[in-house]
């Protein structure tokens, strides 16, 4: 089998890249080690920057998002028992879209099927056999048979635990990482959201976030110990603790109900450099992880593949490698700005173990300045709605 660009990973990054390249007449094959059903069962975040929304529209996968997505013109930052609204629309003229990552993935899968391009699911033991010569080559097993794919380039969109980054010699990569000393306990419930927009909460008992997936499905998070277990959190305890961290009016408005999904996610900041090694390019979670506080994970993957699609188009249309050579530096410039924003939001809103009284006062001063300064609110809004691609 041969193609121009091989894409490892059928998450939103890989699928979006496939659609962007299809629109430019570039042939791709997507390899995914899991089944389609497994990919669609992953529960992920759902706040889309305007740039990500525009990309989904560009590739013809935005119709359901327009019907079912929930535009948000701002968020609330709550501390000291008071909610303070950050008005994105008035501060930047932009907004974000709440639309579940699972739904965006489903739309992109349908777009992929309509394109007629090849996707291989349940590809076992995917291996990058060559990525430094004149061509690249991938191998995998399926139903007991060995398969081989020869291509010009490989896009590694297979996540933090994927084979792409692991195929690069460790000495060739520089790793930057911070692991945070807490996690997020999250629940999904078939209950109406407590607010029309997201509420980020700084509280002496720990961080909380009130979010949503639709007008009838809510997503809530609580900061918890990194070594905690969901077995310690029956629904009754979760709702009681969430109410304790909310301001009185929000707590009174909260509608509770049985959860149908519950999980604990660790928080980390992670970046590798560079994002290119020979004919292999890294994008999305294969290259970087952000704490979810800033809602940047999926959006950073979208900007990565936007840059990568432009670079591949330049190569195939103009036979120029300038875009490919500049990809790593160009993508990382935006990655590090998003890493900074996510780190700042995480540092400002969470309770850190062993934080001194001085550090706690500094955190409250930061929040008070944010709530009282239009310049500070604008800085948050500009980053939250997404910096330009």
Q: Rounded to the nearest 5 degrees, what angle is found at the Cα of 371, between the Cα atoms of 217 and 201?
A: 35
Rg (CA), the chain: 21
Work out the end-to-end distance of the chain between its first and last CA atoms, rounded to an integer number of angstroms.
34
292 tagged catalytic: yes
Residues in contact with 284: Cβ distance below 8 Å, sequence separation at least 6, in sequence order: 9, 11, 12, 13, 14, 157, 159, 300, 301, 304, 305
Q: How far apart are CA 230 and CA 285, in angstroms?
A: 25
Burial grade of 125 (CB within 10 A; 0-12, 13-18, 19 or more): exposed
Q: What is the rounded distance in angstroms from the CA atom of residue 298 to the CA atom of residue 289?
A: 10
Of 296, 306, 307, 327, catalytic: 296
Given 99, 180, 307, 384, the catalytic residue: 384
- At residue 265's C-alpha, the angle toward residues 238 and 188, to 5°, is 45
Rounded to 5°, angle at Cα 337 from 268 and 53: 90
Contact status, residue 30 vs residue 14, Cβ threshold 8 Å: yes
Contact 154, 164 (CB under 8 A): yes
> How many Cα atoms are found within 13 Å in the side-chain-facing hemisphere of 146?
5
* Catalytic-role residue among 153, 180, 200, 307: 200
- Phi, psi dihedrals of residue 123, rounded to the nearest 5°: -85, 110
Q: Would you call 121 a catalytic residue per the annotation?
A: no
Largest CA distance in the chain: 65
72 is catalytic: yes
Active site residue 296: yes
Tokens of 129: 């056999």
Looking at 12, 203, 292, 307, which residue is catalytic?
292
Residues with catalytic roles: 72, 200, 292, 296, 384
């Amino acid at each position: 089998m041969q193609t121009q660009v091989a894409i490892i990973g059928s998450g939103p990054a890989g699928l979006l890249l496939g659609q962007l390249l299809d629109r430019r007449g570039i042939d791709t094959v997507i390899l995914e080690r899991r089944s389609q059903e497994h990919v669609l069962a992953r529960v992920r975040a759902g706040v889309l920057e305007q740039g990500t929304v525009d990309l989904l529209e560009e590739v013809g996968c935005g119709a359901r998002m327009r019907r079912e997505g929930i535009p948000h013109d701002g968020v609330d930052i709550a501390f000291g028992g008071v909610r303070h609204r950050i008005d994105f629309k008035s501060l930047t003229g932009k907004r974000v879209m709440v639309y579940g990552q699972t739904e965006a993935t489903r739309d992109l899968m349908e777009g992929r099927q309509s394109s007629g391009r090849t996707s291989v699911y349940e590809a076992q033991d995917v291996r990058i056999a060559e990525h430094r010569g004149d061509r690249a080559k991938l191998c995998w097993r399926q139903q007991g048979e060995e398969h081989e794919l020869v291509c010009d380039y490989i896009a590694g969109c297979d996540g933090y635990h994927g084979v792409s980054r692991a195929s690069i010699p460790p000495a060739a990569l520089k790793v930057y990482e911070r692991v945070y000393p807490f996690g997020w306990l999250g629940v999904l419930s078939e209950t109406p959201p407590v607010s029309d927009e997201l509420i980020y909460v700084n509280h002496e008992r720990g961080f909380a976030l009130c979010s949503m997936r639709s007008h009838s499905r809510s997503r809530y998070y609580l900061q918890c110990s990194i070594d905690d277990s969901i077995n310690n959190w029956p629904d009754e305890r979760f709702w009681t603790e969430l109410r304790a961290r909310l301001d009185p009016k929000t707590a009174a408005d909260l509608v509770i109900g049985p959860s149908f999904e519950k999980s604990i996610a660790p928080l980390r900041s992670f970046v590798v450099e560079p994002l290119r090694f020979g004919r292999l390019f890294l994008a999305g979670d294969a290259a970087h992880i952000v704490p979810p506080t800033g809602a940047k994970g999926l959006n950073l993957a979208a900007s990565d593949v936007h840059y990568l699609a432009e670079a591949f188009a330049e190569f195939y249309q103009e036979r120029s490698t300038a875009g490919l050579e500049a990809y790593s530096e160009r993508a990382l410039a935006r990655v590090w700005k998003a890493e900074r924003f996510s780190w700042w939001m995480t540092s400002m809103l969470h309770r850190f173990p062993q934080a001194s009284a001085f550090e706690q006062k500094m955190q409250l001063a930061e929040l008070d300045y944010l709530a009282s300064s239009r310049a500070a609110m604008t800085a948050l809004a500009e980053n939250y709605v997404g910096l330009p691609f």
